Structure 1
């Protein structure tokens, strides 16, 4: 980890920037700016869609332009919008600047992931280490967000700006312009190459959409479900503290039980998806707090196994000409799931209720596990 500490710190700082702002967005829009919850949901949707576009643009620029300049571009857009949010935290400017923030964040995030993908060739567990630090940073930032918000909303944006500024300084000092291998230097990258990517790659992307679509129910609609059962908002928030602690404590054990091979990564992805499935099944007829603790624990195990593994697995399908774009497609799949998750879940709950919604999520995840056991099969499995 020491050799790549600068790279890992940048990933952590970027995630801390996300963790500072996103948890208080709905609260601030509804309570201080007097906007309806549906308006707050649309702002978050615009943020997620802008991040999708930023991911794709950042991946393309990283692979076809210059590495450090792509980071600077994303960081500059993020910094500008954070300064504008600091100066004008008012409606409707908040929606506009939050969307711009998402766009810059997508560019910066895909560039960071692309750089990690290049370094990961020499450090097989680098993505796992980055995900561990990112979760640690996210947990710290989520706690800090509430503290700063209680003082003044401008403190949230100011501290986030300083975090991204520090990330850019580390990028300036530590990151390098990595040239492609000699035998690939003259090969021109084209988007048509993605039509030639194997079904395994596209299946993992589809699985990420499904996983994040379900994951967002925990971030949105599960809170309503718990309140209906008479469980407080504070206890709902504490679930994510439990989840962060579980991920930070148990994720380092992955390297002990799973060597970094495609076969092991496949089983980690499928086993984790199974835990995601069972987490929704555990919510059926849940009435007491320990049942929700069990559910978030199962979700954390799915997170540890699957979401730490997919970036490294996707990187196996990349060349030095398209590593950032490959990672951007994976990030885009996750962003799409996050974007439509709250709206999809809300509509499904309105039509069929919570229990049937959780049952449907369980069935869809289980179906993806069964499909994945065939699609991700390797020669050594036969």
Structure 2
């Protein structure tokens, strides 16, 4: 991997580690410590995700217009200021207000850092985005493991730890990302799939929007593990430390199982469609296990199954966006898929909170299975508008 990509990889890892101290515990903090209902907690997280959607689109636009360094520093600066204030003021209503600004700043950073990764290691193809996915999940494993332990001592230490690591990320970005040539970023184009005259990008955009719909629906389900399922485990008397351990297992498995994943992809899932459809079927199986579980071992099994699914689905989406993006639009296309994921995270907590408050966790599981079935459909048919010989059949 090029040195520039390693710097992006390390920064992404540190950023994710810091945020993972807090995000798996947001609903628990709002519900258990601030005394808000699941519906209110879901609404707060919806506002956070809504701000991230705006940030994702803005970040992609800024990447294409002013370059990756300036876009990342702009978003990181907003997040850093919000985290400083949050460290000293995390009651009600300052907590939800600051979460909105954190969502906006983080939203600006995410598509920019993914687009920069794609051009910093353009010959890496799928490997570049899979590496970013692994970096994020190493951060999740470490951050969530430490977060559960720290939260059991004091939630104040969670805010301090998050801030400290974000300061480190900000300085890495400020002193090193400026040396990653923005000219190379704007001039480089990934594998392109569009009409021969290189001007009509509407089939590309249509394909991206279709696959993004399924991506968003998958995230509506996935985010329940951070919200309604998190509080459901508390109702079942599963400890906070055990819940945090689930995310540690998630991150550790993603890192340790990469060799097995490579073998599976090379032999059994050589196309994007097979990868995504297989992964979504595994999601359905995971939520079926949750439906039947009442003890920690059941949730542990469900998390392991869920992780196998996400290892197939999540890295494929930014790769597709990079392959579809016309020259000079890498940031915008990454912003769209990031917005789709964030949109799922925005709708998911509110929808899940209302359904669980009114009807219970089991009806929510049934509805999520229906969403996953729709996502399988979008994965199968998203590329029908592209030229047959140039459809996205393989991840390089």
Shift in Å, 1:62 = 0.7
Which residue is 1:138 aligned to? 140
Which residue is 1:277 aligned to? 284
* DSSP 3-state at the match of 2:294: coil
Shift in Å, 1:282 = 2.3
Runs (5+) with no aligned partner, structure 2: 191-198
Shift in Å, 1:34 = 5.3
* DSSP 3-state at the match of 2:183: coil
Runs (5+) with no aligned partner, structure 1: 185-191
CA distance in 1, matches of 2:237, 2:129: 40
Deviates more, 1:277-286 or 1:366-375: 366-375
Alignment of 1:59-70 (within 5 A): 59-70=60-71
Shift in Å, 1:2 = 5.8
Shift in Å, 1:328 = 0.8
Task: Sort the Cα spacing of 1:360 and 1:21 in 2 relative to 1 into closer, same or farther, 3 A.
Answer: closer
Higher relative contact order (CA closer than 8 Å, sequence separation 6+): 2
How many residue pairs get aligned? The number is 373
Which residue is 1:106 aligned to? 107
Task: Sort the Cα spacing of 1:351 and 1:97 in 2 relative to 1 into closer, same or farther, 3 A.
Answer: closer
CA distance in 2, matches of 1:373, 1:182: 29
Which residue is 1:314 aligned to? 321
Give the aligned CA root-mean-square deviation in angstroms: 3.1
Task: Sort the Cα spacing of 1:374 and 1:238 in 2 relative to 1 into closer, same or farther, 3 A.
Answer: same
Task: Sort the Cα spacing of 1:251 and 1:308 in 2 relative to 1 into closer, same or farther, 3 A.
Answer: farther
Shift in Å, 1:308 = 1.7
Task: Sort the Cα spacing of 1:106 and 1:194 in 2 relative to 1 into closer, same or farther, 3 A.
Answer: farther
State the TM-score, normalized to the length of structure 1.
0.86
* DSSP 3-state at the match of 2:320: helix
Alignment of 1:314-333 (within 5 A): 314-333=321-340
Instruction: Pick the aligned partner of 1:212 from 216, 219, 237.
Output: 219
Shift in Å, 1:229 = 4.7
Deviates more, 1:65-74 or 1:354-363: 354-363
CA distance in 1, matches of 2:86, 2:200: 40
CA distance in 2, matches of 1:70, 1:27: 32
1:345 aligns with 2:347: no
CA distance in 1, matches of 2:134, 2:360: 35
Is residue 34–residue 91 contact of structure 2 (8 Å, CA) maintained in 1?
yes
